[in-house]
Structure 1
Amino acid sequence: MEDPYILMLIALAVLAIVDLVVGVSNDAVNFLNSAIGSKAISVRNIMIIASVGVFFGAVSSSGMMEVARKGIFNPSMFVFQDVMYIFMAVMITDILLLDVFNSLGMPTSTTVSIVFELLGSAVVIALIKITQNDAQSLSAIWEYINYSTASNIILGILLSVVVAFTVGAIVQYFSRVIYSFNFESRPAYINSLFGGFAITAITYFIIIKGLKGTQFYGSLKGYLEGNTLEIIGASFIIWSILSHLITKVFKLNILVLIIGIGTFSLAMAFAGNDLVNFIGVPIAALNSYEAWSEAFSIAGTSPDTFSMGSLAKKVPSNIWLLLLAGAIMVITLWTSSKAQNVIKTGIDLSRQGEGHEKFQPNNLSRVVVRFAMFLNTGINYVIPNKTQNFINEKFEKPVVRLPKDKTFEMPAFDLVRASVNLIMASVLISIATSMKLPLSTTYVTFMVAMGTSLADRAWGRESAVYRVAGVLNVIGGWFLTAIIAFIAAGIVAYLINLSIAFIPILLLLVAFLITRNSIAHRKKTKEIKRKTHIERSELITINGVIEESSDHISGVASRISKLYTNVVNDLANHDLNKLRKTDKHVEKLNNEIDELKDNVFYFIKSLDETSVQASRFYIMVLGYLQDSAQSISYISRASFKHVNNNHKNLKKGQLKDLKAINNELSQILDNVSDVFKSRGFEDLNSILIEKRVLLENVSKSVEKQVARIRTDETSPKNSTLYFSILLETKDLMKALMNLLETYQEFYLTTK
């Protein structure tokens, strides 16, 4: 009787460890973005500060475990077997959901995911119990579910998105007007007052958000409650005086201190409050098992009859389990590449400068930007020119003269914005906690960062449509999380209730999908590292241009060779699925070349003074590569469309000619790839001679097809496709040969 539930507890313990890893990978963005983006503190020191905050928060989080036991459903309405099924469904779904978001580099809310997973699985189990009980109707579902809690959480989410963005934007706007971008030259009293306000807000946040509900809060409760204004006033005076001493006597930058304290406080709050999202369910399962096990040993109570009303009682968490969880979180923080990926998304969307944009614009983002521009025009019409000039002066960024090989060291945003991010996130979360309003730290910290970046004019005409699209994608992902979490957890709970045998099957599925996602993420990371990014750390010389362009040409030639061969073979076999896959690879190649062309501006800026003439050559190389890629794209798409429309296969004579052309083309492309890979540019002449033979054979194939049409060809669709492939092959060869001739000329000139 006990064995299956012991195994379920072991499985839940393992799932808790995995959930801690994937959860921290996602939520690290909450407290690391501002510090890392501003480069106020070295990454190593930021990680140490955050690690201490996470560890301290984990140890003080015991009071937050109640939500998993009784926050979403009424435990007295369920039996032991039911809650174990609910908890298994929640953990399996949570890991899969968070891992998908981490792999995509998208921040999401672990609070929302766990709440809606508990809600979805509890609703399904409750509906099953209702249908099995003739005395209950569907309306009895409200006896099983704490719907008011779920409603409050949804309301908290909606409010937090709007309020955090708006308040962050307003505070950042006035902070910039007061500080400007030349904040080092501001009078000492501004630093003192700003430091007093900021550190007071953050320390109050640590006390209210970090300690409330923990076992340590009881001894402080009498001093804190009812004296809020006095505590805030005294803290402001003390911290303002200390800030003045730090600035004037010790000559330290108060903004750096604010960022350090803010990072610690948010890391602590994350661990103290969000730890329940990762280990709350397994601990609740352990408490459930202990209660049932005791009843079973005394009276032999069956798991499908033992009521779980005991879960409604307050149970202190095991301090050793919290310590272990804190250690796992800290290790993940230091080692997770997915965490770095999620952090990069947040920083990219709020950075001050230009660069590669991760998200593509959509119609909604375009409408939002146009409306903002229209609104801005109206505001400028109302505000006097003198006032506008005064404000614009405050937003003028200082010209930082850095050598080109040092531009990669520039921070994504400055210390003022990083400080405001941390202050406002702390203030909003502490206010909501004191008012007992549920909200997500992810939503608040992310939307504050987006609001401050907008107010700081980080979203210029060049980047606004991409940044807005990114924010809309992330917000959409949050709400999608709730829907998917509810439905997926409900389905998993139904399957487990149907048969306990589904548990090992689902666990194997979890292991398989996480392993596959990790391998795919690792491959993607390696692929990104192989690419030459625009934020480079060295100047580009003529040799650098040759090296980089050679790598591009070698890679593109090799891939076009494989893609062309795939199209011909798949067309011969009339294989629609393989043609579809080939078309996706062709699209990927085109996107990569488009990305290189989009980054030409930054490439040219990176050239040293003696290599500027190489920019024209590099632009031409990219143009010819794009022409080649577009030709293979047309061939692939036309072939896929032909087979997808169920047209007749090509005739044997046509396929024979195509395969002969493919063999010659593959040989030429492989030679091109080898020449550029080995930098043996002296062999370019022989390739240029080979291409003439191939072009003649393509022309002969065209003439053969004309002859076929006049004698025995009966399919106009076949002829259209065949001519299209031959003519695009000709264009592909011409683009490639133009590239080789340009390269040969440039190489000889530089030599």
Structure 2
Amino acid sequence: MDPIYLIIVIILLGLAVLDLSVGVANDAVNFLNSSIGSKVAPLWVILTVASVGVMLGTLFSSGMMEIARSGVFHPEMFSFPNIMVLFLAVMLTDVILLDVFNSLGLPTSTTVSLVFELLGSAVAVAIFSIWQANAGDLIEYINTGKALAIISGIFVSVAVAFIVGSSVMYITRIIFSFKYRKTFRFFGALWCGFALTAMTYFIVFKGLKNSPIVATDFLYLVESNMLRSLLVTFAGWSILMALLQFLFRVNILKIIVLTGTMALALAFASNDLVNFIGVPLAGLDAFKNASATLASGGSIDTLYMDALNGPVKADIRMLLAAGIVMVLALWFSKKAKTVTETEVNLARQGSGLERFSSTPLSRSIVRWGVDTNRFFNKWTTPSFREKLNSRFIIPEQIEEQGVSFDLIRASVNLTIAALLISLGTSLKLPLSTTYVTFMVAMGTSLADRAWGRESAVYRITGVLTVIGGWFITAIVAFTVAMVVAMFLAWGGKIAIFIALALVGFILFKSSKFHQKRKLAEKANATLIEDESGIVKTSTTEVREVIGKMLDIYHQNVKGLTRESRSLLREIASKADELYLNYKNKRTYEVVPTIQSITLKELDIEQEYVQIVDYTYEITKALRVITSDSSLYIENNHKGFNNEQEEDLEDLSKKVTNMYKTYIGMMEKSDYSGFATITNIRDEIIEQCAKLTKKQIRRVKDKECSTRNSILFMNILNETKTIVLQSVNLMKSQRNMILTVKKLTDEETKKKN
């Protein structure tokens, strides 16, 4: 046998390990978001519980392995060489696709990606086979009936999960309300008993059916006495929960959430393990079959993969090894945390920085919701509405705990998602765990009124973005897998090594992008607790933003004089990023920051608000200058003449001098010479007026074109805005420091 096939098998197994890592990074959000969002326990406890669930789930997954072998195509139509190319194209595409989505922090469906990758790769290899043989029909190669059933099941699960999640959450909240402790004393044990019984039924009674470690006689005994088993299970769990609640004062909701986390991790591993190792194990079995054929004197070129149609009994050692890799990725993957943050952010109860903006579609949906609510109010009595609304009032102590949602919602999220996924697994339907858990979480957050008028439009945009990403996943997975498979089939051994090198390069760049993004988020994160914290944070930010603005302004002048498109594009991007940071800060962070701290001096809060406002106005003006300059040079307009360049450079030096003078004052904490700053400001404003007159003279003398003049005068006008707002910024920062110093001196006098 050609050694290339052994190399392909080794590559497939290596990619399986890599795919498990990036796959868990994507799917960790499915079973971690409820525990993390409700802060049910320390992170290490949550990860430990989830790890146990993952390891158990790997042992229940062998029945799903058939999907990768015969769920999308007919393996008996593919020769051994062609099916190895098919499998390799699927794995190469899957690793890249999942890693890209992880780097962007967007949860995507590993099931959807696998199904469409298999479909795209199978179509490409089938077309290549038909072209080689000059005979055949594409429809004979694809298992269209089963593929359509799988795809339709995946997409139907979106609606089912959302409707079931929102309905159950709405009823649950009406029963318990946010002030659930009193009601929970009477019904909590029954609620938890029902939840645990449901998890036990679907995960144990149904999940064990496909497990290679459970005896058939035991399964028969359980199924023969199912009703009795369920009643005994419900009674046992309810009694145990009641004992823990009343005798040992245990918060049994935490038990439900942690158990649900383990159950959902188990359901994820049992249902989704096929997405990561199903294809490599199928490739390994194909290789073993080809080796046996060669040993008996046969030819692998005419060997068709009928053997892959048979039932699968996965090697338990392989399953355990896969489980270990998944657990390690769960603990150490930074991208898993990024994806988890996205879903928790969309489902959180409180306000804060919204990651997504609004769209016409999301605004229309919100308007429809508002109109529906008005119609409901019109046909219900005030007393009924008041009683209903009282069930959704959030106590202040819950808001102060800093959790994204409470334990009641977390338990509903986990229970419903685990039931739906386990049901799909028992029916051998490769439901998308991402679809199900994400839509359940979104349904419960909607029913829990987490999407208020202040945030609904942004949350809906986020949901639509994620769902749109799933559809894009399907299209991209099909297309890329088809292109890769065609390239591998046509290019042979050389194409395989080129594809591997390309995958390595993409993974390297993706990792760098993710690191850069997280560093930027960390730099923007601030923690303000008191006067000293807000002053320290504001002083640091003023120093940093002055440095960034000065660099951008100076580089913009340099880019114009050199007519450098690349430099102007780069600084325009930096200016835009700086502007968006302070736009978000001004919109979402200022008010929550003021609400979260208690200051003795309102003047400090006022100066803090003004600092953010002034910085926002400066970055907005800077953004106008850089974007206009970049567009001007990008359109190949004639650059500035020597006189204009000298004028801008001289202006840039004065702006630099103003900033450096103030930085010196900050470093010495001596603002006695602040009049120097105002004098420089007046000089710059006067110089801008003179330069405007000079430009008008150039226009009259027809020395400059219209676009040239417009850009030059826009730079002067925006520079005036920057200078004026910068001095205001400096005054506010100075006043803040002097106020704190005054308070400190007064406290010192009182002590003495």
Say whether the fold is shared (TM-score over 0.5): yes
CA spacing shift, 1:250–1:730, aligned 2, 3 Å: closer
Report the AA paired with residue 346 of structure 2: L
Whether contact under 8 Å (1:90, 1:121) holds in the other structure is: yes
Report the AA paired with residue 496 of structure 2: I
Instruction: Tell me the distance in 1 between the aligned counterparts of 2:623 and 2:280.
Output: 51
- Is 1:211 aligned with 2:208? yes
Which residue in the other structure is 1:467 paired with?
A: 459
1:729-748 alignment runs, 5 A limit: 729-748=719-738
Whether contact under 8 Å (1:558, 1:670) holds in the other structure is: no
| Alpha-carbon offset, residue 238 of structure 1 | 2.8
- Is 1:576 aligned with 2:534? no
Whether contact under 8 Å (1:684, 1:744) holds in the other structure is: no
Provide TM-score, normalisation by structure 1.
0.93
CA spacing shift, 1:135–1:401, aligned 2, 3 Å: closer
| Alpha-carbon offset, residue 550 of structure 1 | 1.6
Secondary structure at 1:17 match in 2: helix
Whether contact under 8 Å (1:540, 1:606) holds in the other structure is: no
Instruction: Tell me the distance in 1 between the aligned counterparts of 2:430 and 2:277.
Output: 19
Secondary structure at 1:135 match in 2: coil
- Is 1:449 aligned with 2:446? no
Whether contact under 8 Å (1:124, 1:494) holds in the other structure is: yes
Which residue in the other structure is 2:263 paired with?
A: 265
- Is 1:607 aligned with 2:587? no
| Alpha-carbon offset, residue 490 of structure 1 | 0.5
Whether contact under 8 Å (2:24, 2:329) holds in the other structure is: yes
Instruction: Tell me the distance in 1 between the aligned counterparts of 2:242 and 2:661.
Output: 70
| Alpha-carbon offset, residue 685 of structure 1 | 4.8
Q: Which moved more, 1:708-717 or 1:272-281?
A: 708-717
- Is 1:588 aligned with 2:585? no
Secondary structure at 1:613 match in 2: helix
Question: Equivalent of 1:662, from 641, 652, 657?
Answer: 652
CA spacing shift, 1:674–1:157, aligned 2, 3 Å: farther
Where do 5+ consecutive residues of structure 2 fail to align? 742-752
Instruction: Tell me the distance in 1 between the aligned counterparts of 2:279 and 2:663.
Output: 55
| Alpha-carbon offset, residue 688 of structure 1 | 4.2
1:103-114 alignment runs, 5 A limit: 103-114=103-114
Whether contact under 8 Å (1:205, 1:265) holds in the other structure is: no
Whether contact under 8 Å (2:25, 2:333) holds in the other structure is: yes
Instruction: Tell me the distance in 1 between the aligned counterparts of 2:640 and 2:433.
Output: 60
* 1:35-64 residue CA offsets vs partner (Å, 9 max, x unmatched): 221122232211111111111212332332
CA spacing shift, 1:245–1:4, aligned 2, 3 Å: same
Report the AA paired with residue 445 of structure 2: S
Which residue in the other structure is 2:68 paired with?
A: 68
Which residue in the other structure is 1:361 paired with?
A: 358
Which residue in the other structure is 2:750 paired with?
A: none
| Alpha-carbon offset, residue 692 of structure 1 | 4.2
* 1:615-664 residue CA offsets vs partner (Å, 9 max, x unmatched): 11112222221222122112112222322333222212212222232233
Report the AA paired with residue 491 of structure 1: V
Whether contact under 8 Å (2:208, 2:219) holds in the other structure is: no
RMSD: 2.2
Which residue in the other structure is 1:198 paired with?
A: 195
CA spacing shift, 1:251–1:75, aligned 2, 3 Å: same
Question: Equivalent of 2:391, from 394, 398, 405?
Answer: 394
Question: Equivalent of 2:410, from 404, 418, 423?
Answer: 418
Instruction: Tell me the distance in 2 between the aligned counterparts of 1:207 and 1:480.
Output: 35
Which residue in the other structure is 1:532 paired with?
A: 525
Instruction: Tell me the distance in 2 between the aligned counterparts of 1:224 and 1:612.
Output: 68
CA spacing shift, 1:482–1:614, aligned 2, 3 Å: same
Instruction: Tell me the distance in 2 between the aligned counterparts of 1:17 and 1:574.
Output: 49
Which residue in the other structure is 1:91 paired with?
A: 91
Report the AA paired with residue 460 of structure 1: G
Report the AA paired with residue 387 of structure 1: F
Instruction: Tell me the distance in 2 between the aligned counterparts of 1:701 and 1:237.
Output: 86
Which residue in the other structure is 1:20 paired with?
A: 20
Report the AA paired with residue 447 of structure 1: M
- Is 1:546 aligned with 2:535? yes
| Alpha-carbon offset, residue 393 of structure 1 | 2.1
Instruction: Tell me the distance in 1 between the aligned counterparts of 2:24 and 2:663.
Output: 43
Report the AA paired with residue 419 of structure 2: V
Whether contact under 8 Å (2:604, 2:739) holds in the other structure is: no
Whether contact under 8 Å (2:270, 2:425) holds in the other structure is: no
| Alpha-carbon offset, residue 693 of structure 1 | 4.2
Which residue in the other structure is 1:511 paired with?
A: 504
Secondary structure at 2:525 match in 1: coil
Instruction: Tell me the distance in 1 between the aligned counterparts of 2:613 and 2:416.
Output: 47
Which residue in the other structure is 1:168 paired with?
A: 165
CA spacing shift, 1:312–1:746, aligned 2, 3 Å: closer
Report the AA paired with residue 604 of structure 1: I
Whether contact under 8 Å (2:271, 2:421) holds in the other structure is: no
Whether contact under 8 Å (1:35, 1:46) holds in the other structure is: yes
1:424-503 alignment runs, 5 A limit: 424-500=416-492, 501-503=494-496
Instruction: Tell me the distance in 2 between the aligned counterparts of 1:98 and 1:679.
Output: 51
Secondary structure at 2:600 match in 1: helix
Instruction: Tell me the distance in 1 between the aligned counterparts of 2:321 and 2:424.
Output: 29
Secondary structure at 1:608 match in 2: coil
Which residue in the other structure is 2:745 paired with?
A: none
| Alpha-carbon offset, residue 288 of structure 1 | 1.0
Instruction: Tell me the distance in 1 between the aligned counterparts of 2:34 and 2:512.
Output: 30
Question: Equivalent of 1:642, from 632, 646, 654?
Answer: 632
Secondary structure at 2:296 match in 1: helix
| Alpha-carbon offset, residue 265 of structure 1 | 1.1
Secondary structure at 2:480 match in 1: helix
Which residue in the other structure is 2:706 paired with?
A: 716
Secondary structure at 1:400 match in 2: helix
Whether contact under 8 Å (1:564, 1:632) holds in the other structure is: yes
Whether contact under 8 Å (1:189, 1:244) holds in the other structure is: no
Whether contact under 8 Å (2:76, 2:306) holds in the other structure is: yes
Instruction: Tell me the distance in 2 between the aligned counterparts of 1:50 and 1:108.
Output: 20
CA spacing shift, 1:36–1:748, aligned 2, 3 Å: closer
* 1:551-578 residue CA offsets vs partner (Å, 9 max, x unmatched): 2222221112222222222222333343
- Is 1:331 aligned with 2:338? no
| Alpha-carbon offset, residue 682 of structure 1 | 5.6
Which residue in the other structure is 1:141 paired with?
A: 138
Instruction: Tell me the distance in 2 between the aligned counterparts of 1:230 and 1:29.
Output: 35
Which residue in the other structure is 1:44 paired with?
A: 44
CA spacing shift, 1:53–1:745, aligned 2, 3 Å: closer
Instruction: Tell me the distance in 2 between the aligned counterparts of 1:82 and 1:605.
Output: 64
Report the AA paired with residue 55 of structure 1: M
% identical equivalent positions: 41
| Alpha-carbon offset, residue 135 of structure 1 | 3.3
Provide TM-score, normalisation by structure 2.
0.93
Whether contact under 8 Å (1:201, 1:426) holds in the other structure is: no
Instruction: Tell me the distance in 1 between the aligned counterparts of 2:664 and 2:96.
Output: 43
Whether contact under 8 Å (1:347, 1:412) holds in the other structure is: yes
| Alpha-carbon offset, residue 674 of structure 1 | 6.0
Instruction: Tell me the distance in 1 between the aligned counterparts of 2:478 and 2:521.
Output: 34
Question: Equivalent of 1:597, from 578, 586, 589?
Answer: 586
Question: Equivalent of 1:618, from 589, 597, 608?
Answer: 608
Instruction: Tell me the distance in 2 between the aligned counterparts of 1:328 and 1:674.
Output: 54
| Alpha-carbon offset, residue 671 of structure 1 | 4.8
Secondary structure at 1:250 match in 2: coil
Instruction: Tell me the distance in 1 between the aligned counterparts of 2:3 and 2:683.
Output: 75
* 1:578-618 residue CA offsets vs partner (Å, 9 max, x unmatched): 32332222111110111221211012123323133211111
- Is 1:378 aligned with 2:381? no
| Alpha-carbon offset, residue 397 of structure 1 | 2.0
Whether contact under 8 Å (2:267, 2:422) holds in the other structure is: no
Report the AA paired with residue 457 of structure 2: V
* 1:663-685 residue CA offsets vs partner (Å, 9 max, x unmatched): 33334435545654675656655
- Is 1:235 aligned with 2:255? no
CA spacing shift, 1:219–1:266, aligned 2, 3 Å: farther
Question: Equivalent of 2:284, from 272, 286, 291?
Answer: 286
